[in-house]
Amino acid sequence: MIVDLPDTTTSKISKTLVKIREEGGAVALGRVLTLVISTRLGHEEEAIEAANDASREHPMRVIVISSGSDKPDTNDTSRLDAQIRVGGDAGASEVIVLRAYGETASDEEGLVTGLLLPDAPVVAWWPGDAPDVVSQSPIGRIAQRRITDAAAQPDPRGFLAHLSTCYTPGDTDFAWTRLTLWRAQLAAVLDQPPYEPITGVEVHGSPDSPSTSLLAAWLQLQLDVPAKHELVTPAHGSSGIQGVRLHRESGVIELERTSGGIARLLQPNQPPHDISLPRRSLRDCLAEELRRLDPDDLFGEVIQSGLGQLDEPSRKAPAKSSPITARDTSN
């Protein structure tokens, strides 16, 4: 069910929620958190779809506040239009969409505060452009966890560098969440014999992939060896992480993408293994981040210490015979 409330107030929205609950039987009990999504007018639906999917694992109230349309002819009259979605249109959540215009858009915290679930954690998510310092933004100040997406910024790697200087416990980024499968697979490989120390690390990825930088920083920090970080130009490789090489005395371990969801693992004295390494969707990343509401200490260590210790990446156009070839790759 979808209820439209044009030119409204937060008080009217709250009363409508109560009315829907009483008359329609929509139950708000059992919500474990409030997810606040801050985005631009006209860019709400993809984030709402991801939140609806994630709500089946984490029942929650979703508040979407959108302002600053890309369209130059947008009516700047100060007003608040709202939409309430429950039932089949909201997954296992209830979605409140706030479209703020003019001066109304300048008080995001005030618009959201009256709609938060009482005594429930607040998570903030910026699926697009993020504030300069997320922890000091109007929405960030009221949230326990703050999620950004470096890949959605105009300068992904520059955004990570900036985040490293203003990181506050509770901050996280989807560039890190997209590495979960890579980190798990590499850790599993090193848990197998012959248990030799790693002497060198190489990470290959495209310039528009902030996850490539984070993976190199994590490996360097955890293995205590320099990580060679190479960027493959778009003309010779597609976006995302393309491969990792771990050097040790018995030979080289290679994990490289061979297609969008498949990676090939090459190890000394073993046959090649094709393993599933799918691209992680927004839903997957969001659901993972909502599983923990305490600060991610490892991400904080990597973004603050590991990233700063990483050497400047080299740019490389691999030859056609290179093991890391130009294929359809992703994080």
Query: SS in 3 state form for 51-110?
Result: HHHHHCCCCEEEEEEEECCCCCCCCCCCEEEEEEECHHHCCCCEEEEEEEEHHHHHCHHH
Tens digits of residue pLDDT in 78-135: 899 999 998 877 777 889 999 999 889 889 999 999 999 989 999 999 999 999 999 9
Can you say whether residue 269 is alpha, beta or left, with left for phi > 0 and alpha for psi between -120 and 50 degrees? left
Residue corresponding to tokens 């920083």? 217
Point out the least confidently predicted range of 73-87, 149-163, 192-206, 294-308.
Answer: 73-87
Neighbouring C-beta atoms of residue 70, cutoff 10 Å: 9
pLDDT score for 321? 35
**Beta-bridge mates of residue 232:** 316
Q: Kindly give the residue spans of alpha helices, DSSP state H, lying in 66-225.
A: 108-113, 156-166, 174-177, 180-190, 210-223
pLDDT score for 315? 76
210 to 142, 259, 282: CA distances (angstroms): 27, 20, 16
| CA-angle at 277, arms to 177 and 293, nearest 5° | 20
- Predicted TM-score (pTM) of the model is 0.89
Instruction: Look up residue 264 and give its two tokens.
Output: 């090939």
Q: How far apart are CA 314 and CA 30, in angstroms?
A: 50
pLDDT, average across residues 160-167: 95
Give the residue from 104, 250, 256, 116 showing the smallest Cα distance to 185.
256
Average pLDDT, the chain: 88
